[in-house]
Structure 1
Amino acid sequence: MKTFLKYLMIFMVPFIICFICFEVYLRQINTDYTEKEKGLILNQKNIELIILGNSHSTYGIDPNQFDLYSYNLANVGQSLYFDKRLVMKHIDKLTNLKFVIINIDYHSLYFSSQSERDAWSYYGNGIEYKNGISVLSKISRIYGYTFSVSKNFLKKDRSKEYKIIKAIDVEKGVDLNKPIYKGWFSFKGTDNDQMAALKYKKRADSFNDLVLNSTEKEEILLDLEDFICQLQSKKITPILVTTPCYSPYIKMLNQKQLKANELDVVKLAKKFNLKYWNFLNLPLKETDFYNCDHLNSNGAKVFSTTLNSLVNSNFSIAKPKKEYSK
């Protein structure tokens, strides 16, 4: 038996070494989560406006179009739960922060967990979802990322497209072969295949299912109200924004729920004396979208320029643009 155990240990040594090496590799990966946080810390004394939200604002709000020094802290699939905790983690060092754009879309009030992304945010930003990260996920990146995602990192390491940022689960049209500047990256062009009616109906159906089956709305609203109160107590102005989507796709969302959502956000804005700018039906060209609910870089420029003008006019801001580090 001792001989068997001895040979078993010898047999296992190469696998243990490979596991440890892969674990170390994953802990040093520069993801879109870590890159955004590094940029935030680097410019924490310069940032005047922060952009929060899910993939709609991740890709669709370009901080380079604002006169105030702006930073995009949104991420794919990011919930309001993580928006709040990302800002509050750094709030005391964001000494020049004046505005926070809070992205509230069709599904924003109906989910708080980001599913597998909860672990990714924990690794990249140090934020845990309701103490819900398993012990194994905390100990092992291989377990937390899953073998599939971990293997994908190795694949991206061999690709010229991902030599700088190893983005996790972003769409194929995103260009990450350059540093993220002010926390922003976006799409190039339009994916015509994704603009087909059957594709965006399927997408609309998935969001309808999420919204209509959720039981989290009350809890999420209370957490959001607390976030707004904390920002206002520090003389920081929250701005509520709904991002544009492709018109035929909007018609496939549950219209009764859309109206109810709008009334909820309008009520919230009135309660805290906030601006709420609903751009869901902003008239844009099909070529301004990458797919039915995400703007490409051209659409983001148009939308963000509009947002900048509203910020300037509503809050009497007029100052030249500055250049800072990424």
Structure 2
Amino acid sequence: MEYLVRKLPMSQTYISEFIKTESKTIEVLALGSSQVKNAINPDLFKKRTLNLAAGNQHHDTDFKLLKQLLPELPAVKTIIIETSYSHFELPHNGPDFWKNSIYLDYYGANNFERNTYFKDRLIYLSNPKFLSEKAYSYYIEGEKNFGFNRFGYDTLHYAGIFKDLKYDEVKISALKRFKINKEPSLAIFKNNTQLFFKMLDYLEEKGMHVIICEVPMYKTYLPQRVPEILNRRDSIVTLAKERYKNINVFLLETDTVHYNVKDYWNQSHMNPNGAKKFSSALNVFLEKRD
């Protein structure tokens, strides 16, 4: 099974090769969760861009990857960091995050916070249920709707509830349940913000330009945000802007003018159509800054 998993079309396969061949020319590094992974297509940037965002990836993992990989990327001058709606009130990944095996095997990054062993590189053992389902879909059911470009961005990633409903806004608006954090946690907030500012201190010391980024959400997502969580997030972004001279913000979470239903595959994730708009806008923002 390990062999079959390694042969699956995975973004990390392409990203790893991109790092190996382009490490000296990469100028922009994007970090974050699946929201950033889906919204940023590096092929649409003038500057060579590496998108290391991944599903369920939080700031602690971002920081570990940053510290280990930045020395291998000498041309990087700009770091994109995500501050999504509940980024500061969801638990960090920690040293037992199942994707640590993927980071170790594909990027050579040890996020386990300990010495690694042979089994740490066995990707299948990190999440057998999830990866078995992926292998079954690919090898048995013949699901091959992948369009990874050389940057590891999936240009064919449209599948989701919005496509299933044929982008019918009435039906989509009738959906009452979708994934969104509704549980404020001051303890998690304090822990996460402490690490966030450590990361910003590190980037300031390294002379990096930082873009704090918030990806557009679909219009039915926005009113479901809990004010307590939202206000605390916004206060941290404001404080970061005031405290650090190397920070700019690109905050489009509430932009419902330039983004419509056909730009999303669910309430909080863009599809390649949305990524084309968002990436093009972010590219212009980066070019104007220079």
After TM superposition, is the score higher than 0.5? Answer: yes
For the residues of structure 2 that align with 1:160 and 1:230, how far apart are their CA atoms?
45
- Please list every run of 5 or more consecutive structure 1 residues that lacks an aligned counterpart in the other structure: 1-21, 163-174, 317-326
Which letter maps to 1:188? Y
Q: Percent identity?
A: 17
For the residues of structure 1 that align with 2:125 and 2:278, how far apart are their CA atoms?
39
For the residues of structure 2 that align with 1:115 and 1:227, how far apart are their CA atoms?
16
Deviations along 1:237-267, one digit per CA (max 9) or x if unpaired, are 1110111001221011113421221111111
For the residues of structure 2 that align with 1:65 and 1:230, how far apart are their CA atoms?
28
For the residues of structure 2 that align with 1:301 and 1:118, how far apart are their CA atoms?
30
1:300-311 → structure 2 map (5 Å cutoff): 300-311=275-286
1:7-46 → structure 2 map (5 Å cutoff): 22-23=1-2, 25-26=4-5, 31-46=10-25
Give the deviation of 1:34 after TM superposition: 4.1
Give the deviation of 1:116 after TM superposition: 11
1:138-217 → structure 2 map (5 Å cutoff): 138=120, 141-147=123-129, 149-150=131-132, 152-158=134-140, 160-162=142-144, 175-176=145-146, 178-186=147-155, 187-188=157-158, 190-193=162-165, 196-199=172-175, 201-203=176-178, 206-209=180-183, 212-213=184-185, 215-217=187-189
Give the secondary structure class of the aligned counterpart of 1:119.
Answer: coil
For the residues of structure 2 that align with 1:118 and 1:144, how far apart are their CA atoms?
9
Partner residue of 2:203?
Answer: 231
Give the deviation of 1:26 after TM superposition: 4.5
1:269-308 → structure 2 map (5 Å cutoff): 269-273=241-245, 274-282=247-255, 283=257, 284-308=259-283
Aligned length, in residue pairs: 276
Deviations along 1:7-28, one digit per CA (max 9) or x if unpaired, are xxxxxxxxxxxxxxx3455467
CA RMSD after TM alignment: 3.1
1:54-93 → structure 2 map (5 Å cutoff): 54-93=33-72
TM-score (norm 2): 0.82
Please identify the structure whose Cα radius of gyration is greater: 1
Q: Is the 8 A contact 1:33 1:121 kept in 2?
A: no
Give the deviation of 1:104 after TM superposition: 1.0
Q: Is the 8 A contact 1:113 1:129 kept in 2?
A: no
Deviations along 1:15-59, one digit per CA (max 9) or x if unpaired, are xxxxxxx34554676633343233223211111111111111111
TM-score (norm 1): 0.73
CA, structure 1 residues 96+248, in 2 after alignment: closer, same or farther (shift >3 Å)? same
Partner residue of 2:27?
Answer: 48
Deviations along 1:73-112, one digit per CA (max 9) or x if unpaired, are 1111111111121122111120111101111101211234
CA, structure 1 residues 148+95, in 2 after alignment: closer, same or farther (shift >3 Å)? closer
Which letter maps to 1:278? L
Which letter maps to 2:219? S
For the residues of structure 1 that align with 2:95 and 2:111, how far apart are their CA atoms?
12
Partner residue of 1:101?
Answer: 80
- Please list every run of 5 or more consecutive structure 2 residues that lacks an aligned counterpart in the other structure: none
- Report which stretch shifted further, 223-232 or 261-270: 223-232
Partner residue of 2:234?
Answer: 262
Partner residue of 1:11?
Answer: none
Q: Is the 8 A contact 2:101 2:123 kept in 1?
A: no
